[in-house]
Amino acid sequence: MATPPTFTTGQVLTAAQMNTVGMFKIAEQTVSSATQFVFDNIFTSDYLNYYCTVTITGATSTSMLFWQERAGGVNASTAYSYAGSAVYLSGGSGFQNILAGQALGQGAVGSFDGASGSQGLMAFEICAPQTSTYTAVTGRFSVTTGNTGMYSGTVGSVHYVTNTYDGMRLFVGLGNFSGTCRVYGIRN
């Protein structure tokens, strides 16, 4: 019996083989010149935790990528805090930046640059959005800034509301962006 991820053409997958798969892609969106990704009905009791990747292929402004939970198509817009740090490198010199906000209408999952030619990747975990506990998000991001610089860091975010949520909104504070977001459920 072959085990994931190595299967051959024509092979029949068994329940035992599928039960060893750790993540399942449950949603994907690609946007162009947009201000947000909106995902409804993606958090279910099938998974306790989720993993997301965001690839930014272009942006008109430098901005944070913010996060809000959603229930029944409505954004939850109170009681978020986030904290993190990042390092910016340009022209051979670097400096550290502290990212933080408390008691806000949104959390944060990363940052990106609006310079010409910039691209970025964010990857973050969402812990327990479908349970009546606080939801925590922990992420990493790495962004090109112009042609030779970079900005990389980590950020954690908590939504201090004991409610269950079925979706999320990822959005920018300034300008717009193009990119792709993929959401995966992590097997319990």
Q: What is the pLDDT of residue 41?
A: 97
What rounded mean pLDDT belongs to the chain? 90
pLDDT at residue 94 above 90? no
Task: Over range 135-148, report the average pLDDT.
Answer: 88
CATH number 1.10.3470 given to 21-186: no
Q: Which residue ranges make up each domain of the chain?
A: 21-186
Q: What is the pLDDT of residue 3?
A: 61
pLDDT tens sequence across 25-75: 999 999 999 999 999 999 999 999 999 999 999 888 888 899 999 999 999
22, 110, 158 from 63: Cα distances, Å: 32, 9, 20
pTM: 0.89
Buried b (16+ CB within 10 A) or exposed e, 158-181: bbebeebbbbbbbbbeeebbebeb
Give the rounded percent of residues in the chain with a pLDDT score beyond 90. 65
